[in-house]
Amino acid sequence: MAYQTEVISSQPQVTVTSYTISSGSTDWSSNVCDCCEDCGICLCGTFLPCILGCKVAQDHGESCCLPFLPGALIALRTSIRSKYNISGSICDDWVIMACLPHCGLCQMAREQKMRG
């Protein structure tokens, strides 16, 4: 029985390519406490927050009833943040909507108006 021998003249090469992934995330167009940036939104958010909540939900493609569901405004804020690629976290959204719900609602409305 004869065996053939093969000479290996080169080794396999590994190429490492590095990629930088840009998150492209942005900030809100206005601060949460910049309510006076748009007096119409501010007045509606102060005296008729349920109406403003319905408008923000509808402008985002959701049901007008959404603001009346427990925790739904937090989910709406998270969804708006995701849609516009705004940096932040669900925890940030919870804190804003739990501590400053009217200001958070006004901020969402201003964002939609600015980007709409």
What are the DSSP calls for the chain, one per residue?
-------------------------B--SS-TT-GGGSHHHHHHHHH-HHHHHHHHHHHTT--TTGGGSTTHHHHHHHHHHHHTTB---HHHHHHHHHH-HHHHHHHHHHHHHHH-
For position 72, what pLDDT does the model report? 96
Q: What is the pLDDT of residue 74?
A: 97
The domain of 70 spans 36-115
Residue 20 falls inside a structural domain: no
In a domain, 55, yes or no: yes
Question: 7 lies in a domain?
Answer: no
- What span, in angstroms and rounded, lies between the C-alpha atoms of 74 and 59? 16
**Per the domain annotation, does 11 fall within a domain?**
no
User: Domains in the chain: how many in total?
Assistant: 1
Evaluate whether residue 96 is within a structural domain: yes
Predicted pLDDT at 24 = 74
pTM to 2 decimal places: 0.78
Q: Which residues of the chain have pLDDT under 50?
A: 18-21
Quick check: 55 and 109 in contact, CB under 8 A? yes
